[in-house]
Chain A
Amino acid sequence: MSAQETTSTIAAVAPPRSFLRRVWDSDVFYSFRRSPVTILAALVTLLLVGASVFAPWIAPYDPFNPASLNLMDGFTPPMSSSMSGNYFLFGSDHQGRDVLSTILYGSRVSLFVGVSATLFAIVLGVSLGLAAGYRGGVTDSVIMRIADIQLSFPAILIALLIFGIARGIIPPSRHESMAVWVLIVAIGLANWAQFARTVRGATMVERQKDYVSAARIMGVHPLRILVRHILPNVLGPVLVIGTIGLALAIIEEATLSFLGVGVPPTQPSLGTLIRIGQGFLFSGEWWILFFPAVTLVLLALAVNLLGDWLRDALNPRLR
């Protein structure tokens, strides 16, 4: 009996492993288990995402309901009660809003804009990258020249510019209601080029392979080849850039909001809260600035670390 047969018998006898078991034993998850920093980053991300998703249920106060605000609560320091008897863990701001609650709702806006903008950038960048890599020729050079030009400018500048243009086109009465969407489009458009460049390179490699030729000979429609055959094979690096891109998008959103060109004050994100808090830095109310800033840094850092880990885990050369 040869060694090969022995192993195959054992494999046949061994009970089928459950899905969870396979995930637990997989390479990617193994590297996850081995890295305490990554586990911590994942926990922090989960905690912050969970807290922002369930903000309406967790938040001790409803900070954007004017009826529940009491100016007597204003400037309550952290971990103390105001004159009206309300307790504030992270203190309250000048309008008597609970800082903890505004952070919960604020990270909701930040995450929503960051995730949507990244998804938008991925969809746009991946489709254009696939088209450029598969078609080649003029399509390729036009798309890639645009990407090259765009990549030589910082994303924040491009996002600012798109935001400015959108403001000029949209009538002023709708600025506030459209602001979040404009922001998503601006940040998304500023970040698509990275994805396009990566996907284009991977597509050019894949389209030389036999399975693509086989599909083409079978008469499969090019669109179907791209979506069903090539796309799954180029998604690995997209996942990595996407995670790091999410951290970047969150910071970009915060920067734009901090500069005062982001979300409207009625719907503050973490960046807006920091902008508000900056005004009270000199008068000693540090907590209005401090807690949103810490949240933003934790969020960006955790997502960044996850991205780093994903890059190492999915890249076989580094193992």
Chain B
Amino acid sequence: MLAFILRRLAQSIVVMLVVALISFMLFRYVGDPIANLVGQESRISDIEELRQRLGLNDPFYVQFARFIANAVQGEFGISYRLQQPVTELIVSRLPATIELAFASAMIALVFGVVLGVFTALRPKTFATGVIMTLSLVGVSLPTFLIGIGLIYIFAVELQWLPSFGRGQVTDLGWWRTGLLSESGRRSLILPAITLSLFQLTLIMRLVRAEMLEVLRQDYIRFARARGLSKRAINFGHALKNTMVPVITITGLQLGSVIAFSIVTETVFQWPGVGSLFINSVQVVDVPVMAAYLMFIAFVFVVINLIVDILYYAVDPRLRVHGIGAGK
């Protein structure tokens, strides 16, 4: 167990180092960092001195080591566009993205499981056909069109919900939440639905497939023979056994939710990390791009690591075949 975890940990660190290298190259070689710090009237000797003082003349590996040391301490320099420390920017916008991602993951999980169970238990009904067809169309629709469609229906035509922003926010220390106010909660609904739809269809199809598989097993037939209630069979026996892969996939998809939030945040002008990233790509704000890259990679690596370890703990077969026999 320990060896397995250590091995996975080592792999994760290698991935992070590779991403850090890309991030560093981005930071160092895309555009001249000096050109963004000095004005046009600076003398060449001043520029050279600044270059020396910032250590930009040091060998490559020294600079890279310094970059990593800074990154570990959460130090990514200053945004060219907003003239603020990058870490501060990301931290101040993180709560918005996390609340959005969390709300949409909840929607996806709840509705995905419910619809998946429903379509698996009643495979031949009209409603199932409608749900399955809709889910196919939903997968083919680009996220931003779904968002625009929802805005058109619920904000323009019906005028039930706001179409942009976070509504009124409350400060809880450094965490700025929109969940405590009426307008904040109302603002969350449309973006969360938009972001959740893709995961929702994924989870629904997965639950449906797993349920259909499990319902054919002998122990279900035996449970029926014992005269257990339908409810106990379907939910106590069948659903329980489909939940392991569902939880794994949901966990792995959490990273995609954060990435797709770039699109959703742009459509709904949600002030999160994703819209910060898009704005910095537009004006080539390299420090923000580099930091966002490191941040996303870190989230992905941590989630993958946790899921792997959980899997190892849940599935005893992995232990029998020895370490790393998962593939």
Contact = CB atoms under 8 A, between A and B. Distances in A.
Interface string A154-170: 10110011011101110
A160 B281 contact: yes
A297 B156 contact: no
Contact of A297 (B145, B151, B152, B266): B145
B15 interface: yes
Interface stretch (A50-58, A78-86, A123-131, A250-258): A250-258
Contacts of B296: 153, 157
Contacts of B140: 247, 297, 300-301, 304
Interface stretch (A15-23, A219-227, A274-282): A274-282
Q: In terms of DSSP, what is the predominant structure of the interface of chain A?
A: helix
B137 interface: yes
A255 B143 contact: yes
B148 A152 contact: no
Interface string B246-275: 000000000110011011001100000000
Contacts of B148: 274, 278, 281, 289, 293
A265 interface: no
A272 to B, nearest CB: 12
Contacts of A161: 281, 289, 293
A301 B281 contact: no
Given A149-B18, A281-B148, A281-B151, A297 B282 contact: no
B251 to A, nearest CB: 13
Given A161-B289, A255-B263, A281-B152, A152 B142 contact: no
A168 B284 contact: yes
A235 interface: no
A165 B30 contact: yes
Interface residues of B, number: 38
Given A168-B286, A289-B148, A149 B15 contact: yes
Contact of B156 (A251, A259, A282): A282
A152 B260 CA distance: 14
Given A164-B280, A164-B284, A260-B278, 20 more contacts: A149-B15, A152-B255, A152-B300, A153-B255, A154-B256, A154-B260, A157-B296, A160-B277, A161-B281, A164-B281, A251-B142, A258-B142, A259-B278, A274-B144, A281-B152, A289-B148, A296-B142, A297-B141, A301-B137, A301-B140
22 contacts: A152-B304, A153-B297, A153-B300, A154-B259, A154-B260, A156-B259, A156-B260, A156-B262, A157-B259, A157-B296, A160-B262, A160-B281, A164-B280, A164-B284, A165-B26, A167-B281, A255-B143, A274-B145, A274-B148, A281-B156, A297-B141, A301-B137
